[in-house]
Amino acid sequence: MTYDDDMNILLAGLRAVAEPTRLRILGLCAHAELSVTELLTILGQSQPRVSRHLKLMVEAGVLERNREGARAFYRATERGTGARLVQALVDLIPERDGAARDDLQRLDAIRETRSQRSATYFRENAAHWQDLRGLYVDDEQIDAALVAAVAEAPGGDLLDIGTGTGRVLECVAAHVDQAIGIDTARPMLEIARANLDAAGLRRCQVRLADMYRLPFPAERFDTVTMNMVLHYAEAPAEVLSEAARVLKPGGRVLLVDFAPHELEELREQHAHRWLGFSQAEITRIVERAGLELEPVLTLEGTPLTVCLWCARRPLVLFAATGT
């Protein structure tokens, strides 16, 4: 990016926030990712007015907009010149400013509502997860293995596919620069947002997205994680190929899933599409995705065993040649 590009971004950003309500919005979105409805609740202004403010700020590059079906969520931009401008402006908002103080108090109430709603959902649906307890290696053991694998190459950006309640994001946050979790279940994402808010993990965010069509450019991430996700996929090879597409050269896919088993009830009662994966099956889909498989880590359990596979994208891709 040239000097002129940086200057244009800076000037556009300054013009975009040079208005009291827009500065309030910037301060709020620097603390949490918020929907239009949540911003209306905090600001007490009309939907058309707030929407116009948001559109202008997104166009200027000081806010990011992410759509989830009929809803959209906004957060302060976190990359490049726009991110540096946002941080400088938010730091300059006086702590004694009454409007800003009231906004943050209302934001706390929004977060509490999120937390209560997600807690209720999880409590009502917890049986789905509780039924699987004791069937395989303890969650803490799996988490520790995954965190250790991520920590082998700390820093960079991480994508967690099938993030669910955001458990992987919470575990690895200290070892990455930024992390994004995607899932197709909106209630799960509400839980994840509440958990990330409560933990103060601003470098982590979640998105509604399809693992077969990731909304990211090629070579975007240093690490991709899939924790107990692939056995739900109708086409595991396609999922892995899409993960490889967004992986930087030298980056890794960390795949946690079951070794082959015969617990048919997991298919009938819990919508598992596959009853685990053999080393040969994983090798086949990894190679099809253009990745190189590293030695597997096996976590023995009763009756199920969990494996952690690491597949790396080569630094240099060689075209196949005929003889």
Instruction: Quick: pLDDT tens for 171-210.
Output: 999 999 999 999 988 888 888 998 998 898 989 999 999 9
> With bands split at pLDDT 50, 70 and 90, how would you rate the model's confidence at 321?
very low
- Could you give the CA distance from residue 149 to residue 183 in angstroms, rounded to a whole number? 22
From residue 309, give the alpha-carbon distance in Å to each of 88, 145, 152, 227, 283.
42, 11, 14, 11, 10
As a 3-state breakdown, the chain gives helix, strand, coil percent values, each rounded to 5, of 50, 20, 30
> What average pLDDT score do residues 213-231 get?
95
Strand ranges (DSSP E) for 31-171? Answer: 34-35, 63-68, 71-76, 157-161
Q: Domain 133-312 adopts which CATH fold?
A: Rossmann fold (3.40.50)
Instruction: Quick: pLDDT tens for 33-46.
Output: 888 999 999 999 99
Instruction: Quick: pLDDT tens for 272-298.
Output: 778 889 999 999 899 999 999 999 999
- Could you give the CA distance from residue 238 to residue 180 in angstroms, rounded to a whole number? 20
- Could you give the CA distance from residue 67 to residue 53 in angstroms, rounded to a whole number? 17
Quote the pLDDT of residue 322.
Answer: 41
Please tell me which residue, 6 or 241, carries the higher pLDDT value. 241
Q: Mean pLDDT, the chain, as a whole number? A: 86
Q: 300: which residues sit within 8 A by CB, 6+ positions away?
A: 137
Strand ranges (DSSP E) for the chain? Answer: 34-35, 63-68, 71-76, 157-161, 178-183, 204-208, 221-227, 247-258, 292-293, 297-299, 306-312
From residue 247, give the alpha-carbon distance in Å to each of 6, 172, 206, 250, 313.
27, 18, 18, 8, 7
Give this prediction's pTM: 0.72
Is residue 16 within 8 Å of residue 60, measured between CB atoms? yes
Angle at 36 between CA 212 and CA 45, to 5 degrees: 170
Instruction: Quick: pLDDT tens for 257-277.
Output: 999 988 888 777 777 778 889
pLDDT for 302 beyond 90: no
Mean pLDDT highest for which of 87-91, 146-150, 260-264? Answer: 146-150
pLDDT for 232 beyond 70: yes
> What average pLDDT score do residues 60-88 get?
83
pLDDT for 242 beyond 90: yes
Q: 50: which residues sit within 8 A by CB, 6+ positions away?
A: 21, 25, 36, 39, 40, 43
Q: Domain 3-114 adopts which CATH fold?
A: Arc Repressor Mutant, subunit A (1.10.10)
- Could you give the CA distance from residue 214 to residue 193 in angstroms, rounded to a whole number? 20
> With bands split at pLDDT 50, 70 and 90, how would you rate the model's confidence at 146?
very high
Quote the pLDDT of residue 240.
Answer: 96
Domain ranges within the chain, ordered by starting residue: 3-114, 133-312
Single out the residue of 268, 235, 248 nearest to residue 314, CA to CA. 248
pLDDT for 320 beyond 50: no
Phi–psi pair at 103, nearest 5 degrees: -60, -45
